[in-house]
Amino acid sequence: MFEATVSEGVLRLRRPGTRWLSTGWDGGRSRAAAAYNVTVSEGFDRTDLTAYRDERLARAGFAGDADDSVGDGGSGDGDPDASPALFTGVSMDHARGARLGPAVAYATVGLSNPAMLPADPASAAESQGPTEAAEGPPGPGTVNLVVGTTRRLAPGAAANLVAVAAEAKAATLLAAAGVPGTTSDAVVVGDDPEGEPAAFSGSATAVGGAARACVRDAVRASLRSRYPDGDVPGPAADAEHGVVTDERAEVFDP
């Protein structure tokens, strides 16, 4: 299974040879020993994110992880860009993990920048009004997920597991905090290229069912850690930053 370590504000989820698919910065498909979730300081304004990531991994003692990493398609050993990294304003003190069957998930939850999608945009605009998106880098929000499975996922199953994880995150947050997510959420999923094959990863499969349970429980645990008194930011008015999508799209038959 995957080994989790936190050092100097960096969470490392490690399993040599893992195939990763990331929706975050410099995302896409890769093959590497580990994926990372990195806490950034308040007022973070670095734009040289590759250099920043390398600095943080070195400070955390994780710089050697690149030695057994290969880029997507086998670009060679020692490729530091193969390891996916997510960034968040949430402290790794609030990172929580959950494991079930062939899946594991780690979450960090911050809700200062909620992204609301009301079913009735007109009534939502009248009742709460849209909040404004933050200028510059994200604040202490963001819900980051790193999900791993010991199964060998087909390409479509890996992509679908991102959707399964995001759906589980949204359902959990709606129930617990009244928001489906934030303006800067990201997901990384990893699978074992030598594991038992899995052609599908929907919620009715062993992989998908286990992953959505892990995401739910990791998100709930991180949420409780981040907001121990239950003072979760409200859907819009009580949050520091965020957006409400209250426009209506044109609907038509194909």
Residue-wise pLDDT tens digits, 127-153:
454 444 444 444 457 999 999 999 999
The helices-and-strands tally (H runs, E runs) of the chain is 4, 12
Total domains in the fold of the chain: 1
DSSP H helical ranges for the chain:
49-60, 121-127, 155-177, 206-226
Residue 252 belongs to some domain of the structure: no
Cα 121 from Cα 112, distance rounded (Å) = 21
Task: With cut-offs at 50, 70 and 90, classify the pLDDT of residue 240.
Answer: low
pLDDT, tens only, 96-119: 999 999 999 999 999 988 988 888
Residue 48, domain extent: 3-244
Residue 78 belongs to some domain of the structure: yes
Mean pLDDT score of the chain: 87
Contact criterion met (CB below 8 Å) for 180 and 117: yes
Q: Choose among 59, 223, 28: nearest CA to 144.
A: 223
Cα 200 from Cα 204, distance rounded (Å) = 9
At which residue do the structure tokens 């907001």 appear?
Answer: 227
- Burial (CB count within 10 angstroms: exposed 0-12, middle 13-18, buried 19+), residue 107: buried
pLDDT, tens only, 175-185: 999 999 999 99
- Phi then psi dihedrals of residue 201, to 5 deg: -140, 20
Cα 119 from Cα 245, distance rounded (Å) = 10
Average pLDDT, integer, range 227-241: 71
Residue 254 belongs to some domain of the structure: no
More confident residue, 140 or 74: 140
pLDDT, tens only, 157-215: 999 999 999 999 999 999 999 999 999 999 999 999 999 999 999 999 999 999 999 99
Residue 127 belongs to some domain of the structure: yes
Task: With cut-offs at 50, 70 and 90, classify the pLDDT of residue 123.
Answer: low
pLDDT at 211: 98
Task: With cut-offs at 50, 70 and 90, classify the pLDDT of residue 49.
Answer: very high
Element (H, E) at 153: strand 152-153
Domain of 144: which CATH number?
A: 3.60.70
